[in-house]
Structure 1
Amino acid sequence: MAYSRTQWGKWYLLVPFPAVLITLIEAAVPGQPLPWWVYVLSTGVMAAVVLTFCSLTILDGGEFLRVRFGPIPLLGTKIRFDDIVSAEPARTNFLDGWGIHYSPSKGTILNVWGYRCVRIRTHCRVYWIGTDDPEGLCARIRGKTAASPEKSAAME
């Protein structure tokens, strides 16, 4: 059975923010009104960013664990199951933030909402992948990594 899980964030609430902010600034500062396209462009840029980062999908891609943001799938990563050393449920905090970035103290963080995640250690990196199903994802990773021939030989 294939593993596929999508976590949704509530970033869509930010789409009207640029238009509201521009309207407030325009009301407070006297002068020429801004053209209509400034509102459309700023709201469109925010909508594109939100559509890129409003969900995080984790898929079992056979040899790889695939992690991608979406529904516009521009960013993401894939991790070979054979490279995974350990996977355990963990929690990020507010200072770790959301999105995709590197933290010197933790490693690569991929998260869209909330603080629940899975910490995945590979031979050379650590990933913190946000999910609303950390136990299920850990079980899937452990099942795939225990089945690899190199891991089975190393455990004996």
Structure 2
Amino acid sequence: MASENRNRATTYRHTQHAPLCWGLYLLCIPLGLAAWLTREMPVLQWLFPIVSLAMLWLAASFHHLTVEDEGDRVSIRFGPLPTFRRSVRYDQIVNAQIGRTTVMDGWGIHFSPRGGWVWNLWGRQCVVIQMRRGTLRVGSDDAERLADFLQSRCGVNGGR
């Protein structure tokens, strides 16, 4: 049984999907219509198409969140457009435990009022990664397995 648990924890990959991107895709419809209707107006003929393309880019960038083992580090990336990504080396992780984001923490990528960075796509469950320099809260609908994996890779005894 112990070797089975070790084998399960030797690698990790999980992708979380969220419906938030569909709202951004839908927002592109009225923006595209506004772009068409204002195509003869000097400033607006450029404003609406640019904003519409930005919404499409954001929606495609925040379609899902993938957390994956890459040997000596864990990578965290939004996609399918690979615009926002980061990685943390295992030797920089001091602790990893299950946590919850607050309503103020919200979704996306930003600095948390509680300190450290939040990378969250959907929901409030997260893994709080204490690093030698800073804190990272990674939102996940698989927080328990991610925390266990990080603890096993870093030799951390979890404090759940």
TM-score category (smaller protein): 0.7 to 0.9
User: How far, CA to CA, are the matches of 1:62 and 1:105 in structure 2?
Assistant: 30
- Structure 2: gaps of 5 or more residues: 1-9
Match of 1:88 among 81, 97, 101: 97
Q: Does residue 12 of structure 1 match 2:46? A: no
User: How far, CA to CA, are the matches of 1:127 and 1:98 in structure 2?
Assistant: 13
TM-align CA RMSD = 2.6
1:116-127 alignment, distance < 5 Å: 116-127=125-136
Q: Which amino acid is 1:35 matched to?
A: R
Q: Which amino acid is 1:141 matched to?
A: L
- Structure 1: gaps of 5 or more residues: 27-32, 152-156
Whether contact under 8 Å (2:74, 2:89) holds in the other structure is yes
Give a deviation string over 1:48-72, Cα, whole Å, max 9, x none.
1111112111000100011011111
Whether contact under 8 Å (1:16, 1:43) holds in the other structure is no
Match of 1:58 among 67, 70, 78: 67
Whether contact under 8 Å (1:12, 1:47) holds in the other structure is no
Give a deviation string over 1:50-109, Cα, whole Å, max 9, x none.
111121110001000110111111111111111111111111022112111112423110
Whether contact under 8 Å (2:74, 2:88) holds in the other structure is yes
73-82 or 7-16, which moves further after superposition?
A: 7-16
Residue 147 of structure 2: aligned partner: 138
Whether contact under 8 Å (2:76, 2:86) holds in the other structure is yes
1:3-42 alignment, distance < 5 Å: 3-10=12-19, 11-20=21-30, 33-35=37-39, 41-42=50-51
Count residues in correspondence: 142
Cα distance, 1:20 vs structure 2: 2.7
Give the TM-score taking structure 2 as reference length. Answer: 0.77
